[in-house]
């Protein structure tokens, strides 16, 4: 897989400095006081969870067992973009921050869930647009700064049927909704989001060859969350997302445990 048109820079620092490990919450005072419940927005990770075709599936290999060894432990191997996971800026930018560059303050964020599930049921390649975001705000209020804005397309239900989540056609082109370039730009420049999230495999719509949403968001130093679960179980506004993102140094991404408080 070679995409020379996407080359943006030569690696300058394979391990950018770690983001601040301590800081003030960017949640408005009082917003936490109303929280009473928690919902797991993470898919259980199994060897049959669909992955981008360039990656091998998740593998867990037993190393020790209770009966034989007194304890049980496995070795895990997987590509960084497996299961419910985080994309760091370094995923698309050689000089972008790695997994450990994300500020901890941005791992605890107001969550805005924008549903385009009705349209996605009719149009597999539909794009979340600036109009969708403006319609969301008319109904649920302005998206606060450093929020995580999540695209809910209903794609999760397709995990029950092999092949329907990746949804590749006969030519291998995948079909799934994503963020439009303009929506990604608007989220960065007009609303200063911390991240964008999606219940699909990719921030970009399935047929994308140019990865516009990734490039805009990661290029602005924001992170992405993909394969997010249960977005229909949390309120569209008012929840707080805690992103248990990967802690390995200099990664392009990695599995993340997402817990929504609401």
Residues 47-66, interacting with its own copies (CB under 8 A):
54-56, 58, 60, 63-66
- Measured distance CA(184)–CA(180) in Å, rounded: 6
Q: What φ, ψ does residue 79 adopt, rounded to 5°?
A: -70, 150
- Measured distance CA(77)–CA(223) in Å, rounded: 23
Strand partners, 226: 85
Q: Which two tokens stand for residue 245?
A: 């993102």
The residue from 16, 50, 92, 212 that contacts its own copies (CB under 8 A) is 92
Q: Does 246 bind its own copies (CB under 8 A)?
A: yes
The residue from 12, 36, 139, 163 that contacts its own copies (CB under 8 A) is 36
Strand partners, 174: 168
Q: Which CB, 94 or 134, lies closer to its own copies?
A: 94
Q: Does 5 bind its own copies (CB under 8 A)?
A: yes
Strand partners, 198: 151
Residues 201-230 that bind its own copies (CB under 8 A): 211, 230
In angstroms, what CA-CA distances link 184 with 97, 113, 127, 128, 188?
A: 19, 15, 11, 9, 6
Give the range of 15-23, 126-134, 144-152, 154-162 binding its own copies by CB under 8 A: 15-23
Residues 113-172 that bind its own copies (CB under 8 A): none
Q: Which CB, 32 or 121, lies closer to its own copies?
A: 32
- Measured distance CA(4)–CA(1) in Å, rounded: 10
- Measured distance CA(67)–CA(55) in Å, rounded: 34
The residue from 50, 97, 107, 155 that contacts its own copies (CB under 8 A) is 107
Q: Which CB, 85 or 158, lies closer to its own copies?
A: 85
The residue from 45, 130, 159, 220 that contacts its own copies (CB under 8 A) is 45
Q: Which CB, 1 or 170, lies closer to its own copies?
A: 1
């Amino acid at each position: 897989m070679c995409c020379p048109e996407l080359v943006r820079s030569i690696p300058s620092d394979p391990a950018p400095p770690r983001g601040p490990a301590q800081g003030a919450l960017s949640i408005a005072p009082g917003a936490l006081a109303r929280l009473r419940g928690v919902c797991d927005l993470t898919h259980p990770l199994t060897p049959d969870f669909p992955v981008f075709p360039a990656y091998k599936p998740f593998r867990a290999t037993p190393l020790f067992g209770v009966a034989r060894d007194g304890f049980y432990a496995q070795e895990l191997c997987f590509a960084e973009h497996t299961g419910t996971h985080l994309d760091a800026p370094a995923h698309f930018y050689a000089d972008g921050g790695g997994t450990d560059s994300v500020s901890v303050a941005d791992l605890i964020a107001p969550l805005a869930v924008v549903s385009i599930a009705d349209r996605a049921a009719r149009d597999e390649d539909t794009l979340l647009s600036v109009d969708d975001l403006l319609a969301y705000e008319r109904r649920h209020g302005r998206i606060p700064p450093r929020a995580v804005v999540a695209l809910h397309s209903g794609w999760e239900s397709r995990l029950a049927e092999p092949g329907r989540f990746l949804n590749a056609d006969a030519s291998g082109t995948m079909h799934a909704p994503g963020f439009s370039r303009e929506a990604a730009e608007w989220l960065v420049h007009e609303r200063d989001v911390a991240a964008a999230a999606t219940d699909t495999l990719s921030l970009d719509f399935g047929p994308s060859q140019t990865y516009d949403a990734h490039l805009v968001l990661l290029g602005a130093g924001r992170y992405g969350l993909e394969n997010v679960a249960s977005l229909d179980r949390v309120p569209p506004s008012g929840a707080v997302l805690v992103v248990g993102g990967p802690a390995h140094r200099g990664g392009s991404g990695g599995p993340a445990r997402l817990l929504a408080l609401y």
